[in-house]
Structure 1
Amino acid sequence: MRVSNIRYNGDCETYQILGGEAISIDLKSGDSVEIVDVEGDQKCSVLAFDSKKSSALSSLNWNTKPKNNSNKISSGDCSEMLKAILNGKKIKSKEFQATELFSESSPADTRQSFNTNNDLLCVFDAEGGPMLVDQQNSPTEILINVSRSNPTIPSERLPEPLAKPTKEIRVKDSSAVAYKVKAGEYIQIIDVEGQQCSDFQAFLEEDLNNNLELCLDPTVTRSQMLASYPAPGTHDKFYNQNSVPLVEVIQDTVCRHDTFGLACNAKYYEDRGFPGHISCTDNFNSSLAEFGVAPRRNWAAVNLFFNTAIEECHSLSSDVSWSRPGDYVLLRAVDDLVCVSSACPDDTTSSNGWNPTDIHVRIYDKSNNFSSATAFRPDPQSIPTMTKETGFHKNTSKLTKNFDNYNGYWLPLEYTNLGAIKEYWQAREGVVMIDLAPLRKFEIYGQDSEVLMQYAITKDVRKLAIGQVVYSAMCYDNGCMIDDGTLFRLDDNNFRWIGGSDDGGKHLRKIAEDRGLDVRVKSSTDQLHNVAVQGPKSRETLSKIIWIPKLQTTIEDLKWFRFTIGRIGGEFGIPVMVSRTGYSGELGYEVFAHPKDCEAVWDAIAEAGEEFDICPLGLNALDMLRIEAGLIFAGYEFCDQTDPFEAGIAFTVPLKTKEDDFSGKESLILRKNSPQRVLVGLELDTNEVALHGDGVYIGKQQVGIITSATRSPILKKNIALCRISVSASEIDNEVEVGKLDGHHKRLSAKVVRFPFYDPEKTRVRM
């Protein structure tokens, strides 16, 4: 689910559709339109209609005429979304005229553009359907840039309602509005033009009727939620001074606010040299007077869209807001409330981008059911999508409500009646299932695909056989890491890269463009969701249910870092790809399927594993497993300032044997010859667990930093991964983990070999 499929950049409107989707846009005479095939090979057609609902393709003045200028689409062959648009616009015909914009072989960033002579309704239809696991025809992104001859006014640009609103409230800039909501109703607070702070407060209506003025309270809320402010998910409620929850956060497209601080007040402006400046406090007092609320000199408030930070030196700083035009926070009233929302009047700092603008509030009926979600943006200017549910979510959500937002998807942290310790031991002794669908997948194909991958990753791709998988690093020119991941060789000129970041695909496309390579890099994350089946009993579990064609390798014969193609449910069952890979340090596999099939895949694996007491495993237990196995994690063991040697995966950089050049090679040679830091294992002589970011010391000098740590159930010790100075990295070297300020409290530790568990990796090779 996208927040909105439109983004404004000045007077330009950008619309996004994905393969399999369609969109209609009303155009006026003189408007210009540019259509972009972002990743290549994505077919898209345009239909145009005049006011009489007749085809008007001739009114499009093409700057570069598409090769396949016109074709006919039968009404029976239209996609469901296209049919819905045409029916909604009451456009009826047995066939429609369309212009095909892109072919199946259009390069990434191919563009077509036209101008309009008349007022038109244009419908853009991007083809696409489910991608089979052994195919690479992933439906991808189309962008439509519209430049209006008569642009809309920014203050009039509002996102489409989430449902039918029961009330619309415009909070004009530098003002506030108080309003009532009933229990269960939803409050959508919208930043109309972006970078505009909006203070929010609420009271129980019953309390006000009893002359009690108990509003949302920062201390109570933070103590109850164990977070600086609530967010969609588990920790989602704002409380009043009597610990009564008043509202819960359902959706948030910004996820960066300052809650709570004070609403701006008279003294704030006086101290800055602006006596008499209107303030949110003044506006709150004026608006709430209608409901009998006494005026206050200071109002604690939920400061939505406001950007402040506590610096390391404990000073409070603020800057331009994170919010973009149309961003919003959706709240649900827990009880009957009196609420107040402001549009902050501060034009004396960058808080509102030096230009206070409007806030818009929509109220929705309690009969609606909006899913809990935050916005995910791969890049700051990307059109955001709300947190998605994986193909396995219907299965996992029956087993737990403890989900966290990981890489734009909801993933379970722990399962009800199990918990991390139970899940962990089942992985070590039996078999478990792990939802890993958010891993990013990219299809790489074309005559130069091997050339691209040989340059893009550190491993020697030319040595990779069809059906083989290799783990590798992907680096910038300076040798620092973009991502780590696995590369699957599907055929001579066909690869699949699976990593943790969208940046991997972007880096591959940039290399292909810079080097003039004939290759496509297509995102397929939403077409391939994977469940990891890990543990000593994983082979026996999957062997029961995976049907393998004669020319493919059976589950019993599948070797480490190999994959095979098969089906669940016999020869005509659900198509799956199975790789002997994992993130647990145990014998294990990953099963890939299309999201539409994932529910059935999960159920089949769960049934097959019943005799081994199979159970699901969440992120908390997975973290314990991977730390014991010495497996690295983005943002912890590596970032874009860390090279593979510092990240503990020097084995992925075969400088002596890979003769071909690759991205970062020269820098990596220099870095290997003069290493500064290295990843080591630490064993702590204490029952207290170290934390990510804790400093590691020898005497007063900090020599390292904890990247990951856990209490190891099987080793019965506290262990940690640590990036440390080479000079302090010898095995058995004694160090201390610093707590508090790093000096007041120390935990004794020593450098040990890692992986901590099964260092020879005999278990994964079984």
Structure 2
Amino acid sequence: MNVKPIFEVPYERSGVLAPGLPILPHGTERHPVPGAGSRAVPVSKGDTITLLDRDGMQPAEMVFFAPDRSSDAAMLGTQGHGRPEGLIATLANGSASGKKVLRALEVAGFDIGRGDAIRAFSDGSRPGDMVHFVAECDGLLIVSAPGEAMRPEDNNPPTDIILYIQRAAPGLEKPDVGPPDPLADPLGDINIQPGNAKSYEVKAGEFIQIVDIRGRECSDFQAFSRRALDQGIEREIDPTTTRSLMGSLYPQPGIFSKYWSVDQEPLVEIVQDTCGRHDTFGLACTARYYEDLGYPGHVNCSDNINKDLSQYGIRPRAGWPAINFFFNTMLDDDNAIGMDDPWSRPGDFVLLRALTDLVCVSTGCPCDIDPANGWNPTDIQVRTYKATEDFKRSYGYRKSAEADVEETKKTAFHDCFARHTRDFVEYNGYWLPNTMTNHGTIAEYWACRDQVAVMDLSPLRKYEVVGPDAEELMQLCVTRNMKKLSVGQVVYTAMCYEHGGMIDDGTVYRLGETNFRWIGGNDTSGLWLQEQARKRNMNVWVRNSTDQLHNVAVQGRHSRDILSQIFWTPPQQPTIEELPWFRLTVARVGDVRGTSVVISRTGYSGELGYEIFCHPKDAVEIFDRVWEVGQDYGITPLGLAALDMLRIEGGLIFAGSEFDDQTDPFEAGVGFTVPLKSKTDDFIGRSAIEERKAHPHRKLVGFDIEGGTVPSPGDCVRIGKAQVGEITSAMKSPILGKVIALGRIASTHALEGHDIEIGQLDGQQKRLKAKIVPFPHFDPAKERVKGVYLKNDFPDAAE
């Protein structure tokens, strides 16, 4: 059948585009099916079912059950394949999506073993391929994206399937967007229309979910200690106390997550936040605000809060301090408070946990005269849940503005590092250890410099690039010459936009003649590879394998000794002892029957080191073996704070610091990744980079700074009163015994040995004297990375 493909389009009105608010045709629903996961969706007679293989080469298997519990592929107008083995295996793999589907099947009384399998995309599908079916009766549709654990040396990660349901009878009027499904069975479920406030009681340990149903809508929140109210005392969330104790404008999931009263009693804590952008603790909107703008009598949240809290005897106030969830305010350079449309998307929410018995109040903000609610006030949903629910801490992460929100994930090595710390911070959608409880940043740093350290680098983004045009795509999209990259070789490179600005830096692993693996810092680079392959109609597949390949780095002078005792390599592969710098080997734990890994001689520490890539199911085994053998060498777990010190000393750049999409590789200090003479092929950004290299404006340099003050990233670099640059990264170097920094400076002043000043307190009132020096500051010849260590390098280290 010939059905017009269904794709989302960004919301647009009068020239304003909002990619984060995708629009589907009337009556069309979108249901992502995660790789190696499943989804169950009710279907009605006449509905059109469309499956989209977004990345290609991902098989799909589905089953359709009629209300009488029968299953026949003919009900969707196609031929069946008998028992759905792929779907059954997917449901049995323990995934979160599988558990939801199994519950739905149990409630409906359907036996998946009697399902008639319908298969799609089984013959090497292309990215964007679609198949269509029409339901001949009502029923329940179960869709899976089957896939097994990917071995580290393979390139077949399970990826998402997108299910679209085009309803045959959606109704004449487009229905309002409703609240998302509850996170669990709610204790209470309150809908708050704009211009209203609702109060509710919550017991200690229970959870509160505040949902922005349609997006771009603010909701004020306050909570009072029930115990204090019973004593006739009002003790609510206090902005000043909370900011002072948490050290931020508003708490976030993690360690610094609590809201406090003026008595320094914690009242609630943030558990999950899918938006991440809220107000800086201003007042809920007030009558005076509207009156001063010429709208006397306008309904407002403060008056609404007063009315609803009166039942608890709480005194009214002209303006209520509140947590203004989803309200987007900011401070400018003159300390003026401004606002813009909220960042929240439809279904965004915050989840809080009550730390004591509370009386709470929430509002649906009525403001329709400014961008506070996107000029269109809508409703808010408030749900409460039992204290026994197991909600994990998480932020909302999106691969792009258009992408579905994802919870912060634990890496496969998370529990291994959790033996040593509770200090985890969110990093690009994952929880990573920041410092280790019984070590500390300085001890972790010295362990890597003097002995050996192990760190979790699993959030690095991995994308498998395979197919006849794989080399052509990589040659086009990265600055290094892929034609000179041998199988088994790794190369560090930049990836740029057409104007020369950097998308990302990363490494390319060549696993075969037509098999490459891109490892970068963000998803933007992988999505860019997919976009270019699609735009140029290349015969290549780019598939995300990040969650199939988790990795730890073992760094330091003893790293080779440790790994050589653990891993066996086949005769055709280099041993750990033989592995050169920027090469990889396929290895196994112990012997030929052991767990498979890929090991590369790479790292981010400036020391001899290796990265070990394994499937998540094998992570604990790998870590425990490394930890066990490493005991004789003083192995220490290392967190992000110490890693940042190591990379600054080693002159290693970091996204958002030394480079962004306005910075070309030469300005970022990695011009060596752009071989303009030896790489004669064109690549994206080449002409712009050639022009920028010929007429440079800025240069990354090193600074030695007098005194003990460490400047902050963004501090200005000045010669006299003129600003000529800015600091990108800075630290007090333990091994060098001085303050050092990296920074960009105007090319006319980027001369080694020149004196400059770093400005603080508006750049004029406080200056730090500094000198421009070569970088990297430590081990400029990279002798340690090459494994060359001198005994006098370690006067205090245990031999």
What is aligned with 2:115?
Answer: 96
Write the letter of the residue equivalent to 1:17. Answer: V
Write the letter of the residue equivalent to 1:388. Answer: K
| Separation in structure 1 between the aligned mates of residue 243 and residue 227 of structure 2, nearest angstrom | 24
Q: Is residue 370 of structure 1 aligned with residue 391 of structure 2? A: yes
Of the three residues 88, 100, 106, the one matched with 1:78 is 88
| Separation in structure 1 between the aligned mates of residue 424 and residue 538 of structure 2, nearest angstrom | 42
What is aligned with 2:65?
Answer: 49
Write the letter of the residue equivalent to 1:45. Answer: E
Of the three residues 474, 488, 492, the one matched with 1:467 is 488
Of the three residues 127, 132, 145, the one matched with 1:108 is 127
What is aligned with 2:612?
Answer: 591
Of the three residues 459, 478, 484, the one matched with 2:505 is 484
8 Å contact 2:757–2:768 — kept in the other structure?
yes
Q: Is residue 150 of structure 1 aligned with residue 160 of structure 2? A: no
Of the three residues 387, 402, 405, the one matched with 1:381 is 402
8 Å contact 1:203–1:214 — kept in the other structure?
yes
What is aligned with 1:136?
Answer: 155
Q: Is residue 262 of structure 1 aligned with residue 283 of structure 2? A: yes
Write the letter of the residue equivalent to 1:426. Answer: A
User: What displacement does 1:582 show?
Assistant: 0.3
User: What displacement does 1:238 show?
Assistant: 0.5
What is aligned with 1:618?
Answer: 639
What is aligned with 1:605?
Answer: 626
Of the three residues 48, 55, 67, the one matched with 1:39 is 55
Distance 1:667 1:288, change over 3 A: same
Write the letter of the residue equivalent to 2:731. Answer: T
Matches within 5 A, 1:385-396: 385-396=406-417
**Structure 1 stretch 267-276 or stretch 313-322: which is displaced more?**
313-322
Write the letter of the residue equivalent to 1:147. Answer: Q
Q: Is residue 233 of structure 1 aligned with residue 254 of structure 2? A: yes
Of the three residues 634, 645, 650, the one matched with 2:671 is 650
Distance 1:693 1:561, change over 3 A: same
Distance 1:628 1:154, change over 3 A: farther
Write the letter of the residue equivalent to 1:196. Answer: E
User: What displacement does 1:77 show?
Assistant: 7.1
8 Å contact 2:90–2:147 — kept in the other structure?
no
| Separation in structure 1 between the aligned mates of residue 386 and residue 357 of structure 2, nearest angstrom | 13
8 Å contact 1:75–1:96 — kept in the other structure?
no
Q: C-alpha offsets along residues 306-329 of structure 1, whole Å, 9 cap, x if unaligned?
A: 111112232221121111111111
Aligned-pair identity in percent equals: 47
Distance 1:597 1:217, change over 3 A: same
Query: Is the partner of 1:635 in helix, strand or coil?
Result: coil
Matches within 5 A, 1:421-440: 421-440=442-461
Unaligned stretches of 5+ in structure 2? 1-19, 92-97, 788-799
Q: Is residue 126 of structure 1 aligned with residue 145 of structure 2? A: yes
User: What displacement does 1:8 show?
Assistant: 7.1
User: What displacement does 1:93 show?
Assistant: 6.4
| Separation in structure 2 between the aligned mates of residue 173 and residue 153 of structure 1, nearest angstrom | 21
Of the three residues 700, 712, 715, the one matched with 1:679 is 700
Query: Is the partner of 2:504 in helix, strand or coil?
Result: strand
Q: C-alpha offsets along residues 306-362 of structure 1, whole Å, 9 cap, x if unaligned?
A: 111112232221121111111111101111111101111112222122222221111
Query: Is the partner of 1:97 in helix, strand or coil?
Result: coil
| Separation in structure 1 between the aligned mates of residue 770 and residue 237 of structure 2, nearest angstrom | 45
Query: Is the partner of 1:261 in helix, strand or coil?
Result: coil
Query: Is the partner of 1:561 in helix, strand or coil?
Result: coil
Distance 1:208 1:734, change over 3 A: same
User: What displacement does 1:233 show?
Assistant: 0.4
8 Å contact 1:7–1:383 — kept in the other structure?
no
8 Å contact 1:529–1:594 — kept in the other structure?
yes
**Structure 1 stretch 438-447 or stretch 306-315: which is displaced more?**
306-315
Write the letter of the residue equivalent to 1:50. Answer: A
What is aligned with 2:23?
Answer: 9
Write the letter of the residue equivalent to 1:621. Answer: A
| Separation in structure 2 between the aligned mates of residue 107 and residue 93 of structure 1, nearest angstrom | 29
Q: What is the number of equivalent residue pairs in this alignment?
A: 755
Write the letter of the residue equivalent to 1:16. Answer: P
8 Å contact 2:84–2:116 — kept in the other structure?
no
Query: Is the partner of 2:437 in helix, strand or coil?
Result: coil
What is aligned with 2:514?
Answer: 493
| Separation in structure 2 between the aligned mates of residue 675 and residue 166 of structure 1, nearest angstrom | 62
| Separation in structure 2 between the aligned mates of residue 53 and residue 39 of structure 1, nearest angstrom | 33
Write the letter of the residue equivalent to 1:567. Answer: R
Of the three residues 194, 211, 218, the one matched with 2:232 is 211
| Separation in structure 2 between the aligned mates of residue 159 and residue 399 of structure 1, nearest angstrom | 37
Q: C-alpha offsets along residues 213-238 of structure 1, whole Å, 9 cap, x if unaligned?
A: 12111111101100010010011000
Q: C-alpha offsets along residues 10-53 of structure 1, whole Å, 9 cap, x if unaligned?
A: 54422111221111111223433332111110001232222212
8 Å contact 1:42–1:104 — kept in the other structure?
no
| Separation in structure 1 between the aligned mates of residue 74 and residue 341 of structure 2, nearest angstrom | 46
Distance 1:78 1:708, change over 3 A: same
Write the letter of the residue equivalent to 1:130. Answer: A
User: What displacement does 1:259 show?
Assistant: 3.7
| Separation in structure 2 between the aligned mates of residue 711 and residue 135 of structure 1, nearest angstrom | 42
TM-score by length of 2: 0.92
8 Å contact 1:174–1:357 — kept in the other structure?
no
| RMSD between superposed Cα atoms in Å | 1.8
Q: Is residue 755 of structure 1 aligned with residue 776 of structure 2? A: yes
Q: Is residue 188 of structure 1 aligned with residue 209 of structure 2? A: yes
| Separation in structure 2 between the aligned mates of residue 93 and residue 628 of structure 1, nearest angstrom | 58
What is aligned with 2:571?
Answer: 550
What is aligned with 1:304?
Answer: 325
8 Å contact 1:195–1:320 — kept in the other structure?
yes
What is aligned with 1:3?
Answer: none
User: What displacement does 1:76 show?
Assistant: 9.1
Matches within 5 A, 1:434-453: 434-453=455-474
Write the letter of the residue equivalent to 1:118. Answer: C
| Separation in structure 1 between the aligned mates of residue 301 and residue 87 of structure 2, nearest angstrom | 56
What is aligned with 2:269?
Answer: 248
**Structure 1 stretch 691-700 or stretch 43-52: which is displaced more?**
43-52
Query: Is the partner of 1:215 in helix, strand or coil?
Result: coil
Matches within 5 A, 1:267-416: 267-416=288-437
8 Å contact 2:726–2:744 — kept in the other structure?
yes
Query: Is the partner of 1:544 in helix, strand or coil?
Result: helix
Query: Is the partner of 1:348 in helix, strand or coil?
Result: coil
Q: C-alpha offsets along residues 43-102 of structure 1, whole Å, 9 cap, x if unaligned?
A: 0123222221222533436xxx8xxx5422256972242682544432226543232221
Q: C-alpha offsets along residues 584-635 of structure 1, whole Å, 9 cap, x if unaligned?
A: 0000000001111111111110111101110100000000000000000001
Unaligned stretches of 5+ in structure 1? 1-5
Write the letter of the residue equivalent to 1:496. Answer: R
| Separation in structure 1 between the aligned mates of residue 490 and residue 141 of structure 2, nearest angstrom | 45
8 Å contact 2:400–2:524 — kept in the other structure?
no
Distance 1:620 1:93, change over 3 A: closer
8 Å contact 1:19–1:129 — kept in the other structure?
no
Query: Is the partner of 1:332 in helix, strand or coil?
Result: strand
User: What displacement does 1:194 show?
Assistant: 1.4
